[in-house]
Amino acid sequence: MDPLPLYRRLANHYRDAIESRTLAQGDRFPAVRTLMDRHSVSLSTALQVCRQLESEGWLESRPRSGNFVRQPQRTASRPLAEPLPGLPIDPAQYVGVHTRVSEFIARTRQGPVKANFSRARGAPGLYPGEALKNAATRALRRNPDLLVNSGPHQGNAGFRGILAKRALGAGMLIVPDDIVVTQGCTEALNLALRAVTQAGDIVAVESPTFFGILQILESLGLRALEIPTSPHTGISLEALELAVQTHPGIKAMIVVPHLQNPLGSIMPDSHKARLVDFCEQQAIPLIEDDTYSALCEGDTPRRALKSWDKTGNVIHCASFHKVLAPGLRLGWISGGRWQARVEMFKHAQTHYNEELPQLAVAEIIGSSAYDRHLRRLRSALRVQRQQMSEAITAYFPPGTRMNSPDGGLALWVELPDRLSSQHLFDAALPEGILLAPGLMFSNSNRYEHFIRLNCGWPHTAEIDAAIKRLGELCAQLASH
């Protein structure tokens, strides 16, 4: 069975038709209603097909006229290839990523920065700063002693109640007492790992994965077992099953099912259900990092892994850092059957969180204003990703490949001719252009010819010029 979602298979079908000139430049693309009737698909699927082709540069939307075929400035970058599940997996390769990341961060601070593509974050203007300020002011007016009193151990009860209600949209049935407020998702992941592992244990992770997860594992004395991961459907369940057979000592697993960092993949519901069931059968605690799900395209919340959990084997970790308030380290965790241990480690590690940010955020997420904010944020990021994708297509050498995620803040780009991302980073740094080289997202050198580029800032002339310069540097490196 084809692992790609239906809308991607249909988008690939029409892209092939455009590349073969069956649909020529300027032709009117089939209307949404025509796509629905022709392929017996829903309105949502038909719209996703059009958005996918538009994001890749194959369609342009004309007001009151519909969609029309276009040809990008050159052949659009092809999607990233699927992983090879049979690649050797070595749990001993966990050593050294912290030093590597620390050196990277130190080098990025050595000179002035003109364009920073190395972070996965949005511009301040994308977030409701004024609304957050006003909400915090009202909270202090109602609670004048807020800053001189201790907060509740698990977090503000009203805030946790709103989180529990919001979780219903993702299929989770949890109560406020199942929630502990944390210092962002990083602390939530730390607490989850402390609750289910000991130093020296093996933890399965996606490959590639966010380097912050690798840093957490190394700081706790844990070993990372990297599982091949699809840029479209997430972690390879076949590779995971093989890994469990060859490494029976896996003590936990961390996955990002929605807009995986850096791949941008979204795990289909069928995969989520299989993963939850498999981890339960194998007695492997499953830690869900839900940092990005609110940035997925569409107003319908994506179903969380936790929604399939019947035994408490899934630990759910989340954060508002990327979706609402980058200036607040505000997250939460629901610890499943390890809830008591999570609460104990939270008290031992950092005690309680400040109540003021919780009250301010609670006011916003408890109203329809939050949903309106998310729609605006997703719309702005969609435009910025498309503009960045078109710039990469226009300026980078032929053979460049990249993902086309259904949401999120970044693009994962494969350099042509297996160019070194470290060499590109070294060449761009003196010119004030920062990027995240692929070697940071793995303990191996498997992704040395990949880079992650941030799309969180509006695509200004300066941003476009920096992408053009990166393309020129790629061409220069390829010629040597």
The predicted pLDDT at position 96 comes to: 59
Over residues 80-137, the pLDDT tens digits come to 878 866 655 665 555 557 777 888 888 888 888 999 999 999 999 999 999 999 999 9
Note the pLDDT tens digit of each residue in 250-304: 999 999 999 999 999 999 999 999 999 999 999 999 999 999 999 999 889 999 9
Task: Check whether 75 has a pLDDT greater than 50.
Answer: no
Identify the pLDDT of residue 371.
97
pLDDT tens profile 4-21: 778 888 988 998 888 777
Is the pLDDT at 416 greater than 90? The verdict is yes
Going from the N-terminus, what domains does the chain have, and what CATH number goes with each?
Answer: 1-71 (1.10.10.10), 127-369 (3.40.640.10)
Residues 6+ apart with CB under 8 A from 13: none
Each residue of 137-194: pLDDT tens digit? 999 999 999 999 998 999 999 999 999 999 999 999 999 999 999 999 999 999 999 9
The predicted-structure confidence for 232-255, as pLDDT tens digits, reads as follows: 999 999 999 999 999 889 999 999
pLDDT over 80 (residue 71)? no
> pLDDT, tens digit, for every residue of 376-400?
999 999 999 999 999 999 999 999 9
pLDDT tens, position by position, 303-354: 999 999 999 999 999 999 999 999 999 999 999 999 999 999 999 999 999 9
- What would the pLDDT profile of 465-475 be if each residue is shown by its tens digit? 999 999 999 99
Higher pLDDT pick, 21 / 410: 410
**Other Cβ atoms closer than 10 A to 339:** 19
pLDDT band at 73 (very low <50, low <70, confident <90, very high): very low
Give the per-residue pLDDT at 273: 97
